[in-house]
Chain A
Amino acid sequence: MNFILKMAWRDSRASRRRLVLFSFSVVLGIAALVAIGSLGSNLERAIDDQAKGLLGADLIITGRSPLSEAGREHVATVATEIAAEVSFTSMMAFPTANNLTRLVNVRAVEGNFPFYGDFVTAPADAPARLRAGGDVAIVEETLLRQFDAKVGDTVKLGTSAFTVVGALQKLPGESSALAATMAPRALIPRSALAATGLAERNVLVRHRTMLRLPPERIPVLVEADLRQFFRGEGVGFDTVAERKRNLGRVLDNIGNFLGLVGFVALFLGAIGIASAIHVYVRQKITTVAVLRCLGATARQSFSVYLVQGVALGIFGAVVGAALGLALQLVLPRLLGDLLPFDVQFFIAWPAVARGMGAGLVICVLFTLLPLLAVRRVSPLVALRSAFAERTASDPWRIAIMGFIVVAVAGFSIWQTGKVRDGLGFTAVLGAGFGILGALAKLTAWSARRWFPRRAPYVVRQGVANLYRPNNRTVLLLLSLGLGTFLMLTLFLTRTTLLREIEFTGGGGRPNLLLFDIQDDQLDGVRKTAEAEGAPVLVQAPIVTMKIAAVKGKKVEEILRTARERPDAGDAQARRDGERGKGRKGAGERGASGDRVPGWLLRREYRSSYRGTLEGTERLVSGKFVGRVEPGEAVVPVSLEESLCKDLGLQLGDEIEWDVQGVPIRSRVASVRAVEWRRLEPNFYAVFPLGVLESAPKFHVAALRATDAAHSARVQRTLVAAFPNVTAIDLALVMQTVDGIFSKVAFVIEFMAAFTVLTGVIVLVGAVATGRFQRVRETVLLRTLGATRRQLWQIQLVEYAILGVLAAVVGSVLAIAGNALVAHFVFKIAPSAPVLLPFIAVVAVSAVTVLTGLLSSRGVANHPPLEVLRQET
């Protein structure tokens, strides 16, 4: 052992600078892994905090009736703070505007809701005055503007008069409610509700109990407990996790993306170290042979270099972890205002330890593979340097490769958090390795088979370098090809995800919704909005209707059958609490035999008609029919996919609608996926043109205002010209969503850039270390009279062939990899910019050739003897 350590230390003397260079790829790989683990924990917390602001509480219980006494007592045992709200729609009168009335969404609130996020009013002290009680109200700012009402004015609700204490600009937990009610909000103290006399008369009262939980309580577990407790009481639940789910796949995918980055970063590092060690070992063969002659066993000589490899791994892990942490700590200071959010960074030590451990294990395993060659070095090499190495299969090699596959799969599963994804990553990496290995063999074989005998000497020499003994074809094609493959896959995935974010939260989205536009006002609204610099971006007619029959079976009949079933519950409450979770389990059985939620059959649908799909929609199946001839007996309609699923409908099934007393038969012609989170007018059922034009309807329009002042001006002008039109400003609601997406986009951009940097260093390292394999013959050629230009040209031919081949095949693999990752991991359509792979091919080829030429410059510029003395 003493000899092994001593020899490892002494032997590294002349190569320490080179070994440090080798370790760069490992350092960066582990730094990325540590940074991802730690930064990921930080950002997850930041995003969670912001998502809490969307809900305003840790958990909200919803229902059609207040909680029972026992229920309130139970809730009090789990929550640190409770707030309550009763809401319904009612008419509000404005005495200052000649007692004009408007349908509003009344919220009678009690307690300190919201617990998280911003309750924004003008003036800012309005929430405190509301909580203090009395006959005060906070009214939607757009509504006040519409009636030219001001803070201090009086408004009437039922039999009570309220003093307006503030204009409501933003209230957490509202985005989906806005879309549901399409009515401006008016907040009053709960204590003032009874006096209005409205709550008793209103059948559509909704109760919400908002909970703040102690930090150690996990909302999902509390929800499960409460769900059990309130079983059969018809209550629903809303959580932060649910709100995050409603924001779409983007938030789920940030975790998946970070997993992919960790995987890519570490394997880039592993490829870098494996290729460097491969070259290093080749240079050490004579030393090993001499040691063997002097009596060193295979184990002793192998151990000498294993110690160096492990030391390199430890060095990489320690320096990498330090760099990863430094990066995370220094980043906010370096970037300052450029950071799109304020994150309190903390060091996530478990993430650091995991990153270092995984990095060390993967690096040592990848180092072992080339090191195995040391065990097979014959002492005869000391007598004859040309002595061929033994090529018999090595059981240890097979064992190490098995270990590597298991370690890669284990790391991938750990990194992605999913067995299927982890095994998929491993399989794709293995396939890439196999394809590039086969390409290397094919390249060497082709170069020999179709050798360009009539080409100039430098071309022949360059091509011959591809298959001659001691060639770099396998090494460079594998390292450059895998590097390109991993880097470009990451970059393409980044583009795919950023497009998804841009689609969800891009700057051009509408942020001002106009409701109740009548047919004869439509042109006027359009012109007025355009004149104010906010043209209508989206406009849709809305026709209200109910379902009359599904697949020939009347709704009443389906509901009657269901009532006879004992397990039918309050489906409406379930809708409130279980949006997006699947609604089966309580309700009626559809014609197909599946249960259909009763509320889906009873509710009023706001449907639209148009000739084409909108940008928020994607055709899932069937054919979207844009127009039919008037008088069509069975109208082809397009249904939203979840509705279709819940009603148990398939393409071609019939559904009969009751359009305000007029029966209309339809068949499902197409199924659409809808991006509901875009806060734009979207519909469950879309009819073709030529059917509903003459039905009673109103229109909804969406505009984009540049800022708050612009929005106020547009609203004022529109409301003055069209008093019945209601405007809802979504800008502040959207800011919260945008804040989350900007974080996600930043993380994706940053981690992608950092990992690509690792990849470039790996590529440069692989090419630069390759020069040691060519030193002797380059010096010989120089001695025999080759000019510097000729040496460069020989290298150029070899590097250009290898660089272009690796880049092209790596890019093709990356396009396939991106498609697989997008489909199976992110569950979105892959973005495939044509230019990006092309740029990658040019860049990787250029980096290869330039690095190759620059690294061989020293060999060509110095006297041969000096070079030989330094390099060997």
Chain B
Amino acid sequence: MTAQSMLKVQRLTKTYATAAGPLTVLKEVDFDLGRGASLAIVGPSGSGKTTLLGLCAGLDQPSGGTVELAGESIGELSEDARALVRNAHVGFVFQNFQLIPTLTALENVLVPVELRGDASTKLRAGGGMSVAEEEARGLLTRVGLGERCDHYPVQLSGGEQQRVALARAFMNRPKILFCDEPTGNLDGDTAHAMVELIFGLNHEKQTTLVLVTHDPDLAKRCQRILRLKGGAVIGDERI
């Protein structure tokens, strides 16, 4: 892994035990991504895209191979240790938004820093608002939802919910952002606006981006496209 390498995947394999015997859904995948780079993982349904994303983000343990994220080998870490790595370095955007329904937009965005215990300790001198809250409001304004901070997810449209999710993903200043079909549940215009935001923030914050998509246009916005089929890499294009 080079000094600039943010995500390094080597011979990554995932096998599930099923009633009919072991089922390998990902076979010996290799790639390396540097700081600020962007990668699109594409392929038909069942090709292992989401499994690969989950393993890269430390959401699951591989059956074989290694994953190094921001310089840390996460394959052998416990679930709690991987959670700490995620909290420190990773941002997520999901296809179905995955906002916590009982929290307002602002509270959703604040969750990553509150988990660290940062949210309320650093208060701005003379003000009631913490640094974290000011930052969260700034991010929500940046995604166009400055006026909707106190709204609950059910009070927001799909596009708005996804924008809150994006603000949340950037809240902990991630080194790498994982997006799983970020525009899959959005209409064309909203999807376009969302893509602009993702790439805009990615560029602005110098974040490494890994996204899973079925959308060829969206994939082409990335610097690199990894094609999967039957769990194996069948193409690795650099644009």
A295 in the interface (beta carbon within 8 A): yes
Q: How far is the CB of A669 from chain B (nearest CB, A)?
A: 71
Q: Which residue of B lies closest to A379 (CB)?
A: B59
Q: How large is the interface on A (under 10, 10 to 19, 20 to 34, 35 or more residues)?
A: 20 to 34
Q: Are B80 and A287 in contact (CB under 8 A)?
A: no
Chain B residues whose CB sits within 8 angstroms of the CB of A300 once the complex forms: 115
Q: Cα distance A297–B53 when bound, in Å?
A: 20
Q: How far is the CB of B125 from chain A (nearest CB, A)?
A: 21
Q: Per-residue CB proximity of A255-289 to B under 8 Å, as 1/0? A: 00000000000000000000000000000001101
8 Å CB contact of B114 from A7, A15, A378, A380: A7
Chain B residues whose CB sits within 8 angstroms of the CB of A290 once the complex forms: 98-100
Q: Are A380 and B102 in contact (CB under 8 A)?
A: no
Which one of B28-36, B67-75, B86-94, B196-204 is at the A interface?
B86-94
Q: Are B94 and A383 in contact (CB under 8 A)?
A: yes
Given the contacts A11-B103, A290-B98, A380-B54, A297 and B83 also touching, CB distance less than 8 Å: yes
A3 in the interface (beta carbon within 8 A): yes
Q: Cα distance A6–B111 when bound, in Å?
A: 10
B216 in the interface (beta carbon within 8 A): no
Chain B residues whose CB sits within 8 angstroms of the CB of A287 once the complex forms: 100-102
Q: Are B114 and A14 in contact (CB under 8 A)?
A: no
Chain B residues whose CB sits within 8 angstroms of the CB of A378 once the complex forms: 59-60, 79
Q: Are A382 and B115 in contact (CB under 8 A)?
A: no
B84 in the interface (beta carbon within 8 A): yes
A720 in the interface (beta carbon within 8 A): no
Q: Cα distance A15–B86 when bound, in Å?
A: 29
B154 in the interface (beta carbon within 8 A): yes
B50 in the interface (beta carbon within 8 A): yes
Given the contacts A287-B100, A287-B101, A295-B115, A10 and B59 also touching, CB distance less than 8 Å: no
B180 in the interface (beta carbon within 8 A): yes
Given the contacts A286-B98, A380-B59, A293 and B86 also touching, CB distance less than 8 Å: yes
B112 in the interface (beta carbon within 8 A): yes
Q: Cα distance A287–B114 when bound, in Å?
A: 15
B107 in the interface (beta carbon within 8 A): yes
Chain A residues whose CB sits within 8 angstroms of the CB of B111 once the complex forms: 7, 291, 294
Q: Per-residue CB proximity of B126-163 to A under 8 Å, as 1/0? A: 00000000000000000000000000001000000000
Q: Are A294 and B94 in contact (CB under 8 A)?
A: no
Q: Which of A2-25 contact B (CB under 8 A)?
A: 2-3, 6-7, 10-15
Chain A residues whose CB sits within 8 angstroms of the CB of B101 once the complex forms: 14, 287, 872
Chain B residues whose CB sits within 8 angstroms of the CB of A293 once the complex forms: 57, 59, 86, 92, 98
8 Å CB contact of B102 from A14, A297, A869: A14
Q: How far is the CB of B33 from chain A (nearest CB, A)?
A: 20
8 Å CB contact of A869 from B59, B87, B154: B154
A298 in the interface (beta carbon within 8 A): yes
Q: How far is the CB of A308 from chain B (nearest CB, A)?
A: 11
Chain B residues whose CB sits within 8 angstroms of the CB of A872 once the complex forms: 101
Q: Cα distance A2–B111 when bound, in Å?
A: 12
A546 in the interface (beta carbon within 8 A): no
Q: Cα distance A292–B82 when bound, in Å?
A: 10
Q: How far is the CB of B236 from chain A (nearest CB, A)?
A: 23
A602 in the interface (beta carbon within 8 A): no
Q: How far is the CB of A166 from chain B (nearest CB, A)?
A: 79
Q: How far is the CB of A776 from chain B (nearest CB, A)?
A: 13
A296 in the interface (beta carbon within 8 A): yes
Q: Which of B42-60 contact A (CB under 8 A)?
A: 50, 53-54, 57, 59-60
Q: How far is the CB of B121 from chain A (nearest CB, A)?
A: 9
Given the contacts A294-B92, A296-B83, A380-B54, A15 and B102 also touching, CB distance less than 8 Å: yes
Q: Cα distance A298–B80 when bound, in Å?
A: 6
Q: Are A297 and B84 in contact (CB under 8 A)?
A: yes
Given the contacts A379-B59, A383-B54, A383-B94, A296 and B115 also touching, CB distance less than 8 Å: yes
Q: Cα distance A13–B94 when bound, in Å?
A: 24
Q: Cα distance A779–B54 when bound, in Å?
A: 30
8 Å CB contact of B112 from A13, A295, A298, A380: A295
Q: Are B50 and A384 in contact (CB under 8 A)?
A: yes
8 Å CB contact of B117 from A3, A10, A291: A3
Given the contacts A378-B59, A382-B94, A872-B101, A294 and B86 also touching, CB distance less than 8 Å: yes
Q: Cα distance A299–B94 when bound, in Å?
A: 24
Chain B residues whose CB sits within 8 angstroms of the CB of A289 once the complex forms: 98
B120 in the interface (beta carbon within 8 A): yes
Q: Which residue of B lies closest to A3 (CB)?
A: B114
Q: Per-residue CB proximity of A738-752 to B under 8 Å, as 1/0? A: 000000000000000
Chain A residues whose CB sits within 8 angstroms of the CB of B84 once the complex forms: 295, 297
Q: Which residue of B lies closest to A12 (CB)?
A: B102
Q: Are B94 and A295 in contact (CB under 8 A)?
A: no
Q: Cα distance A608–B76 when bound, in Å?
A: 90
Q: Are B100 and A11 in contact (CB under 8 A)?
A: yes
Q: How far is the CB of A16 from chain B (nearest CB, A)?
A: 10
Q: How far is the CB of A823 from chain B (nearest CB, A)?
A: 49
Chain A residues whose CB sits within 8 angstroms of the CB of B59 once the complex forms: 293, 378-380, 382-383
Q: How far is the CB of B142 from chain A (nearest CB, A)?
A: 19
Chain A residues whose CB sits within 8 angstroms of the CB of B87 once the complex forms: 294-296
Most chain B CB neighbours (cut-off 10 Å) among A3, A291, A384: A3
Chain A residues whose CB sits within 8 angstroms of the CB of B180 once the complex forms: 383
Q: Per-residue CB proximity of A380-402 to B under 8 Å, as 1/0? A: 10111000000000000000000
Q: Are B50 and A294 in contact (CB under 8 A)?
A: no
Q: Cα distance A384–B48 when bound, in Å?
A: 12
8 Å CB contact of A292 from B83, B116, B119, B120: B83
Most chain A CB neighbours (cut-off 10 Å) among B60, B111, B168, B180: B111
Most chain A CB neighbours (cut-off 10 Å) among B102, B112, B119: B102
Q: Cα distance A6–B117 when bound, in Å?
A: 11
Q: Are A295 and B88 in contact (CB under 8 A)?
A: yes
Q: How far is the CB of A439 from chain B (nearest CB, A)?
A: 26
Interface residues of B (CB under 8 A from A): 50, 53-54, 57, 59-60, 79-80, 83-84, 86-88, 90, 92, 94, 98-103, 107, 111-112, 114-117, 119-120, 154, 168, 172, 180
18 A-B residue pairs with Cβ-Cβ distance under 8 Å, sorted by A, are A3-B114, A3-B117, A7-B114, A10-B102, A14-B101, A287-B101, A294-B86, A295-B83, A295-B172, A296-B87, A297-B84, A378-B60, A379-B60, A379-B86, A380-B54, A382-B92, A383-B54, A869-B154
User: Nearest 9 A-B pairs (CB), nearest first?
Assistant: A295-B87, A297-B80, A379-B59, A3-B114, A14-B102, A295-B86, A290-B98, A11-B102, A869-B154
**Additional A-B contact list (8), CB under 8 Å, known A11-B100, A286-B98:** A289-B98, A291-B100, A293-B59, A295-B116, A297-B84, A300-B115, A380-B60, A382-B94
